[in-house]
Structure 1
Amino acid sequence: MECLSKLKNNNFLVLGRAGMDLYADPPGTEITEAANFYAALGGSSANIAVALTRYGVKASMISVVSDDAVGRYVVAQMEKYGIGHDYVRTTGGEARTSLAVVETRLENCQAVLYRNGAADFELCEADVEGIPYGDYAALVVTGTALAVEPNRSAVFKAVNLAKAAGTPIIIDLDYRPYSWESAETAVRIYTEIAALCDIIVGNDVEFGVMAGDINAGKALAKELAQTSASIVVYKMGPEGSVTFTAEEEQEMGVFKVQALKPTGAGDAFMGGFLSSLAKGLDLRTSVMRGSAAAAIVVTRVACSSAMPTNEELDAFIESRNGIPA
């Protein structure tokens, strides 16, 4: 797979949402009862960038934040984690950086997202021009960034510029129905972007939405690996995952843990999976390490700050005797 050799450049561009998360504290507290909150960098794309840097992989963000204290908090957190932010624009006016208020509990976990007038949705084509895409290992995009304009056109512009520079395209489908005008629009846009991607990662519901039938998602994932993408990872929650390439399909289970919360697993998987591919590890081992990272994150408070280090990931895998059935 030609795209895997480019990943060894070890320097990823991540396009999408970066925001602030507020977690009701201590863990188990409902938002309505909370007197204290724990703040952390949030947003699916920012979480993926954090996860990559935890494993010694370079990552830079392409995004927009508001010109206020919350926007400055997000940029300061990027600096803390070593995430490049040369392509993060600050905007004024009524736009606001995305904010999520979340509970750390497994049952009936409430997550309230404030996305009206979201600053990252203002990313436009001018923001993605002039970037030296050829210098990067890959461009990673999340489906959230495709939901509205001008963000949608900016994503397609960035993807086409990256492809022209020979840089692999990776997408986390990350479908959030409340952000889209209709399911029909989502199907159309996801179908268009998937045809341009080298690696596609999503869960059974997301592939089901793309296929127009929840029961047809797995077949679609397999078809994409045969026709356009080099690697397609079809995740099934507690049932594990199936990874498709043109030559084979690999099944893998999950690591059983006592979870604190359901959030952050997908972003952790992306970080563990992509960083492992970047280090030249084989596909099965890379999926396994992504799964291990996901298992660790759901046992901890928050998402970005919960991402494990290389040492923590190695120790966890060793304690579980490696690859899950």
Structure 2
Amino acid sequence: MDLVAAIKKNRFVVLGRVGMDLYPAPGTATEDADSFTADMGGSSANIAAGIVKLGGQAALVTRVSDDAVGRFCVKKLHHYGVGTTYVTPVGGEARNSLALYESRVAGHQSVIYRNGAADFEMTTKDVVAVDYSQFGALITAGTVFAAEPSRSATFRAFDLARAAGLPIIFDVDYRPYSWPSPQVAAEVLSKAGAMSDIIVGNDDEFGFMAGDKGKGLAMACELSRSSAGIVIYKMGEHGAVTFRGAEEFRTGIYPVTALKPTGAGDSFMAGFLTGLADGLDLQAAVLRGSACAAIVVAKPGCAPAMPYPAELEQFIATHPGPTKAT
């Protein structure tokens, strides 16, 4: 499989949740707010929106609640140009995720409602219905594996994507509150990582899968040598280490005055993948992802904060440049 050639098709099928985000005015604590802005949330939906805003194509595969919030989420997917052919309503007590978070760093609070999450109701039938031949690659964020039937459905999607010649791109995205136990999470996420062609995660996530944060970097390196084509080990303000086979390089970040800590990882993924699709070399694509992450943390919202090409180009042209990797 030619990994980069597949990504250059710039057409992605994305598995995972779409939800509603609510956030008060910048600097305002949730308990002090009189009003909130509502927009789309959910890691997978955010990645898809970021890809589309940067010129790619993306379709989401998920379940949404058959109610006003579910319809809000589908309407927002349409707004951002994300394909909804494979977004299926589910009735009963299932509900879309709801995230309340603040546009401030000091004292930042995020409250996530995930009880009876509709996206966990995604079934094998949902992923079998996808025409994988229409896409260049499959993307998923790790939360899809946290519960059944979504877990089994996603592993089935991996098999179907592989049979269709699509590379699998895995954002570890470990959220402890979604999982029944750390032991189950470590086992399942490690299995998903071993099946993936590109893996992106932070130092805590790789350390979690390795059983010790001190062993996370070594695990990322080993995955790149044993199974994955590209592994990106993110270290927050210290930049990232990227592995491709025997190749290893470090990159810094684009410093900004952050307004919030959320959305950076989703925007990084969108910028990185569309960078490869646009013909950038691996290191330049990683730096493009870092620039996208910086733009998002400096603005309110997640999907609405993700840049269009003109904004991204202006940011890179006027910014002093990334820090030296450490």
TM-score normalized by structure 2?
Answer: 0.98
- TM superposition shift of 1:103: 1.0
- Give CA-to-partner distance per residue, 1:255-285, whole Å, 9 cap, x none: 1100100000000000000111111211001
Indicate the SS of the match to 1:64: strand
Residue 151 (structure 1) aligned with residue 150 (structure 2): yes
- The answer to whether the 8 Å contact 2:254/2:321 transfers is no
- TM superposition shift of 1:123: 0.5
Task: Name the residue aligned to 1:51.
Answer: 50
Residue 199 (structure 1) aligned with residue 203 (structure 2): no
- TM superposition shift of 1:132: 1.6
- Give CA-to-partner distance per residue, 1:177-231, whole Å, 9 cap, x none: 1111111111111111111100000000000000000100000000000000000
Following TM superposition, the consecutive aligned residue runs of length 4 or more in structure 1 with deviations greater than 2 angstroms are 320-325
Indicate the SS of the match to 2:36: strand
Indicate the SS of the match to 1:174: coil
1:34-183 equivalences in 2 (<5 Å): 34-183=33-182
Indicate the SS of the match to 1:50: helix
- TM superposition shift of 1:107: 1.3
Indicate the SS of the match to 2:215: helix
Cα–Cα, structure 1 residues 139 and 58, in superposed 2: closer, same or farther, change >3 Å? same
- TM superposition shift of 1:86: 0.3
Indicate the SS of the match to 1:308: coil
Whole-angstrom distance in 2 between the partners of 1:36 and 1:323? 36
- The answer to whether the 8 Å contact 2:20/2:97 transfers is yes
- The answer to whether the 8 Å contact 2:255/2:322 transfers is no
Matched letter for residue 8 of structure 1: K
Whole-angstrom distance in 1 between the partners of 2:199 and 2:290? 16
Whole-angstrom distance in 2 between the partners of 1:321 and 1:108? 29
Whole-angstrom distance in 2 between the partners of 1:217 and 1:92? 40
User: Structure 2 unaligned runs (5+)?
Assistant: none
Indicate the SS of the match to 1:36: coil
Identity of aligned residues (%): 53
- TM superposition shift of 1:134: 2.5
- Give CA-to-partner distance per residue, 1:141-179, whole Å, 9 cap, x none: 000111111110011010110001110100000000111
TM-score normalized by structure 1?
Answer: 0.98
Whole-angstrom distance in 2 between the partners of 1:217 and 1:323? 24
- Give CA-to-partner distance per residue, 1:35-87, whole Å, 9 cap, x none: 00001100000000110011110000001101111111111111111110000
Whole-angstrom distance in 2 between the partners of 1:196 and 1:278? 22
User: Structure 1 unaligned runs (5+)?
Assistant: none
- TM superposition shift of 1:130: 2.7
Whole-angstrom distance in 2 between the partners of 1:304 and 1:155? 24
Over the aligned positions, Cα root-mean-square deviation in angstroms equals: 1.0
**Aligned length, in residue pairs:** 324
Whole-angstrom distance in 1 between the partners of 2:322 and 2:228? 25
Whole-angstrom distance in 1 between the partners of 2:69 and 2:190? 34
Whole-angstrom distance in 2 between the partners of 1:134 and 1:229? 22
- TM superposition shift of 1:321: 4.6
Whole-angstrom distance in 1 between the partners of 2:27 and 2:320? 31
